[in-house]
């Protein structure tokens, strides 16, 4: 019986995906992130939550290093060390996605960030962990010109001994107050099975809380005239309160959160934004959230601005983290500029969505262990 499930994390950002895996019983042993400010915030958050330093440390460098001779050899040796302890080894990562995003550059694999997806799959195939998780924007599979590349990567890992499953998931299904679709791919090495199946049938919905189609059909409250600090009582017979923005703002006590005062000031157009109704998210730029609805995708950038439901301001960093369903104790490094803080949060995988996938993957691996060689 293996002792632990050891995780090597790539493109780690500020550690949201890693936190979800750690809280689900995995051991984060290796962290790689190229952006030094993202890495600094990752380390700060872990320190604030009194989490231990990863066994093999933090690696603030390009993941491309691990496709080169020395970097690859180092990584292979670390994987071997974990296996010698009887541990399963997994790689997790979500390479930067703007080049596959409809809202981003849409440059695909030839883009500066797009090529890093190929780098991640190259690392997997060269080091051959027992399993891997890949996460990215749905544009990678829904856009025809990107789908061919995605299919190529699937065939690549299959040729290297992995059985895989993949699916586009919506964060709403997992209790996140946000409409956010992402594609996930899970791969497991045939060698860890006693009798490997021909294909992986991953129980994506095992830890889901809601059916997305049903949620979207519910009679959610409509737009209402914006008024500062206006009272608004609502009956929750028809909709789940836990999927609303206001529920999460209260749950995370955002006003008193360490990042609760991190707010962009509206310098121009205050009169104009005051005319935007609560719940009007139709604008290309300014979108006012509805307190008793879920949020649109938390993509802070590309000129998209989310306004507070009943305050005359934009949402705070703490409120953005609540919309990502992060636990209250998670804190972004205070000294960073506001634009960086919002980018860090918007780039992350919704926390509860990541927890659900981590738990299902752990259940799958434990079943394989019980039946294993």
Is residue 113 scored above 60 in pLDDT?
A: yes
Mean pLDDT of 306-328: 97
H helices of 223-323, where?
245-251, 270-273, 317-323
Q: In which band, very low, low, confident or very high, does the pLDDT at 126 lie, cut at 50, 70 and 90?
A: very high
Are 136 and 117 within 8 A, CB to CB? yes
CA separation for the pair 70, 15 (Å, rounded): 26
- State yes or no: is 97 an active-site residue: yes
Could you tell me which of 105, 109, 81 has the C-alpha nearest to residue 3?
A: 81
pLDDT tier at 143 (50, 70, 90 boundaries)? confident
pLDDT of residue 1: 45
pTM: 0.94
Residues 200-211 pLDDT 10s: 999 999 999 999
Where are the domains positioned within the chain?
Answer: 5-209+350-371
Please tell me the predicted confidence (pLDDT) of residue 234: 83
Provide the H-helix boundaries in 262-372: 270-273, 317-323, 338-347, 351-371
**Encoding tokens for residue 347?**
């780039």
Whole-number pLDDT of residue 270: 83
From the candidates 97, 125, 127, 337, give the one annotated as an active-site residue.
97
pLDDT surpassing 50 at residue 56: yes
At 3 the pLDDT is 81
- pLDDT of residue 31 exceeding 70, the answer is yes
Question: Residue 108's pLDDT is what?
Answer: 54
Strand partners, 31: 9, 58
Q: How many CB atoms lie within 10 A of CB 257?
A: 22
Class (C level, CATH) for 5-209+350-371: alpha beta
Q: Looking at residues 173-177, what average pLDDT do you find?
A: 98
Q: What is the mean pLDDT of residues 42-49?
A: 97
The string over 89-124, giving b where at least 16 C-beta atoms fall within 10 Å of a residue's C-beta and e elsewhere, is: bbbbbbbbbbbbbeebebbbbebebbbbbbbbbbbb
How much is the mean pLDDT over the chain? 92
By CB atoms closer than 10 A (0-12, 13-18, 19+), residue 300 is: buried
The encoded tokens of residue 363 equal: 């259940």
């Amino acid at each position: 019986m293996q002792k632990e499930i050891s995780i090597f994390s790539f493109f780690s950002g500020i550690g949201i995906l890693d936190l979800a895996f750690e809280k689900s019983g995995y051991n984060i042993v290796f962290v790689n992130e190229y952006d030094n400010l993202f890495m600094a915030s990752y380390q700060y958050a872990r320190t604030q939550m009194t989490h231990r330093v990863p066994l093999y440390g933090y690696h603030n460098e390009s993941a491309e290093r691990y496709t080169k001779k020395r970097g690859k050899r180092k990584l292979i040796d670390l994987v071997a060390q974990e296996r010698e302890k009887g541990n399963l080894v997994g790689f997790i990562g979500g390479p930067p996605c703007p080049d596959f995003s409809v809202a981003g550059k849409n440059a695909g694999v030839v883009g500066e960030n797009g090529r890093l997806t190929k780098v991640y799959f190259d690392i997997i195939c060269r080091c051959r962990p027992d399993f891997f998780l890949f996460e990215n924007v749905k544009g990678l599979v829904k856009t025809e010109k990107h789908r061919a590349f995605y299919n190529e990567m699937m065939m690549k890992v299959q040729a290297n001994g992995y059985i895989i499953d993949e699916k586009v998931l919506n964060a709403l299904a997992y209790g996140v107050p946000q409409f956010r679709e992402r594609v996930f791919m899970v791969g497991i090495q045939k060698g860890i099975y006693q009798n490997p199946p021909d294909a992986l049938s991953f129980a994506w919905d095992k830890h889901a809380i809601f059916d997305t189609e049903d949620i979207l059909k519910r009679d959610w409250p409509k737009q209402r005239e914006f008024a500062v600090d206006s009272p608004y009582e609502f009956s929750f017979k028809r909709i789940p309160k836990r999927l609303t923005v206001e529920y999460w703002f209260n749950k995370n006590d955002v006003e008193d959160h360490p990042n609760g005062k991190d707010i962009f000031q509206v310098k121009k157009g205050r009169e104009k934004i005051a005319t935007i109704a609560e719940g009007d998210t139709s604008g290309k730029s300014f979108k006012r959230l509805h307190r008793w609805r879920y949020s649109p995708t938390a993509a802070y950038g590309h000129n998209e601005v989310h306004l507070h439901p009943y305050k005359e301001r934009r949402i705070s960093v703490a409120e953005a983290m609540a919309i990502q369903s992060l636990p209250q104790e998670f804190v972004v490094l205070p000294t960073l500029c506001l634009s960086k803080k919002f980018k860090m949060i918007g780039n992350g995988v919704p926390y509860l969505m990541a927890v659900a996938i981590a738990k299902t993957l752990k259940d799958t691996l434990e079943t394989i262990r019980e039946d294993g060689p």
